[in-house]
Amino acid sequence: MSEKEKKNLQENGEQLSLDDGRRVKVLSPGMMVFKRFIRNKLAIVGICTLVFMFVFSFVGGVVSPYRQDQVFYKVDAANKEYASAVVNTDYRFTPVDGATLSTMTRATFNSQVKSSGKDVTTFVADNTTYTATRLDEGFYILSAGQNLGTVTQLGKMVDIALDEGKELSDAARAAVQAALTGKQTSFEAEGVTYTLTRDVGKTYKLSSMGEVGLASMLNFDAYDPANTALVSSYAFKKACEQAMHEGEGSFTVDGVTYALDIENETTALVTDQNGTEIAGVSNIIVNPVNVGVFLPADYKAAVEEAIAGRKTAFDYTNANGEVERHTIQMRGNNYIISTMQQTYLIDMYAAPSAQHPLGTDDHGMDVLTRLMYGGRISLMVGFIVMILENIIGIIIGGVSGYFGGWVDTLLMRFVDLFNSIPYYPMMIIAGAIMDSFEVDPYIRLYMMMAIMGIMGWTGVARVVRGQILSLREQDFMIATEATGIPVSRRIFRHLVPNVMPLLIVQATMGLGGIILTEATLSFLGLGIKYPLASWGSIINSASNIYVMTNCWYLWIPAGLLIVLTVLGFNFVGDGLRDAFDPKMKR
């Protein structure tokens, strides 16, 4: 005796006979379908797969710590050009404090003095006569006449009219007088050379010859940026170079004595008396490749040393005490110095890691997150297109099947027409049109769903029509006619619900097909576009051979998701069909 019977016996005090109707458990038709469905193992597998896919796509996207279009960066060491060095073959000019050497002067010097080879060369630039005195190879002191004023000789009297702002010491004034008396055109006073040039009659132009600058091939780098002004000053450079050319171990500027450690003709190191490095002297100019990078003098010294030693690489200890390896490459007259530098890069094609379980794609985005968001689009496209197809299909099929006659013929020819339009060519042309108009990715998504719906409703229409054709001959339809129910109600309340089981089966199977089509179009680059993702467009990256061979994690998971989803829909559809109508079970 079963539990139920015992309970019944207790409650009602009667025992059910064997053929009692109450012993038969009556299930509602829906329940019957459900029971048959859950008995189907494959259908259960399908349901589980689909539940997983929905959770993965719709919950996963929320849970994922990343956004779907979040780009990841990485810091990587890359061998980049850091500095360039060139052996100086041009003269570099240092004017005396307060004076300037115009571009014209520099150009004239370069064109005339360099080629002349004489120890003292005079040249004219900007109406000024310059005298270049060669102290040594590649080292010139430039002097120029400076107009001081006019000197007029009136008998024994000498009238000196100075230009504004010029001064002349008494000793010099006496010297002027002495020179005029002695008919000298050039004289010296207090170490300055003066010249008198006859102007008109007894009027002379007085000018002083003074040093205005130096021209040298050497380059001075201050070790301490605070010393830059000192090191680049005329006095310092002149004293230093003179000492270098004369081979002296020290020189004095402004009362301070500096030690000079001469390495060779063009390289030397200046230290102060405490032994602190003040400046490096070299004929090699080292410049940073990137603007805003300061190259310390010891770095320059290291480069110079390496170039002088014809080395291809050297080690340099930077300010942080880290040893960097620099490589030198000769390019024409230049030396390019490269080193491994920290660079901020988009993290493309990163291999799976804890942060990115499936790596990153070609845009540096997290693949797993994109798969989740892509799943939303793939599933959404499937459902929306399916609903659209069914709405159109049910209306046209229902009307066609119910009315029959010429309406049926016309609509069915319409179905034939739509059915025979080649599907993929149409979708590809539509995709190409949207490509050429550069449609916004979101609008494109809606357009694609609309086109897929419009191209795919014919199957539904046929099924609905066929079913309705047979259903409308049945007694219950005659009853609806007899009771005077309106036509639209007859179609959509009495006929369509009877077609529903078959439609549900078809729709479930069709969903897989729609997802496949969308994936194929997206794979071909004609469907979903960046920044949106779908499973198909994620696999699209595998059309790049590099990605296909090296980054399995980019495309295999997406492909498996598609296969599993479509398989799930097919299993469920199969199960539903068997459950709705066991007679159809194959």
Partner 1 sequence: MPVRWNPEDAVVWKFIVRRISLALVIVFLGSFIIYGVMRAMPTSFVEAMARQRAAASATTGGPTYQEWLEQLNKAYHLDTNIFNGFISWLGGVLQGDFGVSWKYGIPVTQKFNEVIWHSVILNIITIVLEVIICIPLGIQAARRQYSGFDYSITVFAMLCISLPTFFLATLLKYAFAVKLGWFDLYGLVGRYHEQLSESAKVLDIMHHMVLPVLTLAMLHIGGLTRYTRTNMLEVLNADYIRTARAKGLSERTVINRHAFRNTLIPLVSYMSYLIPSLFSGSMITETLYQIPGIGYISYDAMVAGDLPFTMFYSMFGLILTQLSLMLADIMYAVVDPRVRVN
Distance CA 131, CA 124 (A): 9
For the bound state, the minimum distance from the C-beta of residue 519 to partner 1, rounded and expressed in Å, comes to 5
Distance CA 60, CA 385 (A): 23
Instruction: Give the shortest CB-586-to-partner 1 separation in angstroms.
Output: 4
Cα dihedral: 116, 120, 124, 128 (round 10): 160
Three-state secondary structure call for residue 64? coil
- Nearer to partner 1 among residue 176 and residue 539 (C-beta): 539
Closest to partner 1 by CB, 195 or 378 = 378
- Give the β-pairing of 192-198 and 120-125: unpaired
Distance (Å, rounded) from C-alpha 458 to C-alpha 394? 10
| Cβ-based nearer residue to partner 1, 388 or 562 | 562
**Nearest-CA neighbor of 285 among 301, 270, 265?**
301
Of 265, 297, 254, nearest to 278 by C-alpha is 297
Which CB sits closer to partner 1, 89 or 420?
420
- The minimum distance between CB 399 and partner 1, in angstroms, equals 20
DSSP character for 366? B
CB neighbours of residue 159 within 10 Å: 11
Q: Which residues pair with 336 in a beta bridge?
A: 84, 329
Spatial separation of the C-alpha atoms in residues 348 and 430, rounded to whole Å: 31
> Minimum distance from CB of 550 to partner 1 (Å)?
10
CB of residue 308 to partner 1, shortest distance in Å: 51
User: End-to-end alpha-carbon separation of the chain, Å?
Assistant: 38
**Which CB sits closer to partner 1, 260 or 434?**
434
Cα 88 to the chain's mean position, in Å?
A: 38
CB of 453 to partner 1, least distance (A): 16
Q: Measured from the CB atom, is 262 or 469 closer to partner 1?
A: 469
- The kind and range of the H/E element at 282 are strand 277-282
CA 488 to chain centre: 59
The residues that touch partner 1, with contacts defined as CB under 8 A, are 42, 413, 416-417, 419-422, 424-426, 428-430, 432-433, 436-437, 512, 516, 519-520, 523-524, 526, 536, 539, 542, 545, 548-549, 552, 555-556, 559, 562-563, 566-567, 570-571, 574, 586
Of 470, 520, 513, the C-alpha closest to 495 is 470
The single-letter code of the amino acid at 137 is E
Spatial distance between the Cα atoms of 234 and 147, rounded to a whole number of angstroms? 22
CA distance 155 to 153: 6
How near is the Cβ of 403 to partner 1 at its closest, in Å?
20
Nearer to partner 1, 230 or 562 (CB): 562
CB of 400 to partner 1, least distance (A): 16
CB-nearer residue toward partner 1: 151 or 427: 427
- Are the beta carbons of 259 and 272 closer than 8 angstroms? yes
For partner 1, which is the closer residue by CB, 85 or 542?
A: 542
- Nearest distance from C-beta of residue 290 to partner 1, angstroms: 41
Q: State in angstroms the smallest separation of the CB of 423 from partner 1.
A: 9
- Smaller CB separation from partner 1, 107 or 429: 429
Distance CA(527)–CA(529), nearest Å, equals: 6
- For partner 1, give the closer residue by CB, 283 or 378: 378
Q: How far is the CB of 559 from partner 1 (least distance, A)?
A: 4
Closer CB to partner 1, residue 234 or residue 523? 523
Angle, helices 496-523 vs 458-471, to 10°: value is 170
* Smallest separation (angstroms) from partner 1 to the CB of 549: 5
Tell me the two tokens of residue 327.
């490589």
Strand partners, 162: 149
Dist. CA 394–CA 384, nearest whole Å: 15
Q: Which of 295, 290, 384 is nearest to 342 (CA)?
A: 290
